[in-house]
Amino acid sequence: MTPDTEETLLRSLALTLTENPGATLQEMAKAAGVSRATLYRFAATREQLFDTLQQHVMAVMSGILDDAGLESQSPLDALRQLITGYIAQREFCVFMITQFEPYIKRNTQQAYPDECLAHEQRLDDFFLRGQQLAIFRPDVPCRWLTDLFFGFIYMLCESEYRGRIARADMQRLFEDMFLNGALARPA
CA 144/CA 70 separation, integer angstroms:
17
Number of domains making up the chain: 1
130 found inside a domain = yes
149 found inside a domain = yes
Domain that holds residue 11: 3-182
pLDDT of residue 18: 86
pLDDT of residue 14: 93
Is pLDDT above 80 for 66? Answer: yes
pLDDT band at 183 (very low <50, low <70, confident <90, very high): low
Is 99 or 179 the better-scoring residue by pLDDT? Answer: 179
**Nearest Cα to 153, choosing from 65, 101, 85, 102?**
85
The pLDDT tens digits for 97-134 are 887 665 455 555 666 677 778 888 999 999 999 999 99
Q: Domain containing 145 — which CATH number? A: 1.10.357.10
Dihedral of the alpha carbons of 53, 114, 122, 183, in degrees to the nearest 10: 80
187 found inside a domain = no
159 found inside a domain = yes
35 found inside a domain = yes
126 found inside a domain = yes
Cα 158 to the chain's mean position, in Å? 12
pLDDT of residue 166: 92
